[in-house]
Amino acid sequence: MTTIRIRATFTLLGLLLALQPALSVAAQPTNAANGTGGLADLRAALARAAAGSGVVRGVLSVETQSRDGSDEERGSASVAIDDGPGGVRTTLPRELLQRAEAEERLREKDPAARTPVLNALKALELRELRALVAPASALAALLEQAIPRGEAAEAWAGQPARKLSFELPLSRLKERERKYVRQFDSRLDVWIGADGLPLAHRIQTSVSGRAFVVVGFESSSSEETHYQRAGDRLVVQRRERKSAGSGGGEKGDTRSLHVLQLNPG
């Protein structure tokens, strides 16, 4: 096994995909109400989870897929993850590392070469890892931007739960992106247990507008995240993101799936 540090990078996938808000977007100050009932329970539970100090160890698997017209790229990889007092460490099997190095050499010779391992490793950047093993703070920040729209009893995966519904504002987009948008709809649903901890959340967003005066575009995205406990910590068990867009005679879509399997004990 070889231990490496994955350097955090951020690459815009073009205007259509950049317009899709994600949980990892930095919080922006809003005037959202503090809320009562389920929202207050959720916020209190997230604060407790964020203060957790346990160690998280497991195997993180990722699958990626992107299509740009008729061109399709796929990727998959699994790494061991250890998050404790010393920070987050990822351990890649030597065979996986050798495949990544081989793909890098191949890409130097042929920029159009398929690189499934490198594609998957891009989805394991440091920022994404932190969002998976320490999601409480990120969800709390997202709630600061959200506008409460209702609460109802609704089971999740057979468990008694409360569903909290929110609207997410256009202000989540950067100012330079907002100027292209004509229609925007983004909604957040969070299912919480009796203790207030989230069981899952779902974000659905649709955007349409016009760029460069004459180019109209439409895009949509969804994110579904399932949570699990790891001692006194809250971690992600499964997160799937999908996005699709069309404009200027072109269309494309992306999908990523992260699954964290905790080690026993």
Digits of tens for pLDDT over the chain (265 positions)?
Answer: 333 332 222 233 344 444 444 333 333 333 334 445 999 999 999 999 999 989 999 999 999 998 887 788 888 899 999 998 888 888 888 998 899 999 999 989 998 888 888 888 888 888 888 899 999 999 999 999 999 999 999 999 999 999 999 999 988 777 877 888 889 999 999 999 999 999 999 999 998 888 766 678 888 999 999 999 999 999 999 999 999 988 877 888 999 999 999 998 6
Q: Are 243 and 253 in contact (CB under 8 A)?
A: yes
Nearest to 83 by CA among 120, 134, 137: 134
Nearest to 78 by CA among 54, 66, 95, 53: 95
> Dihedral of CA 13/18/22/28: which sign?
positive
- Note the pLDDT of residue 213: 61
Nearest to 18 by CA among 258, 249, 243: 243
Domain assignments of the chain as residue spans, ordered by start: 16-262
- Note the pLDDT of residue 55: 94
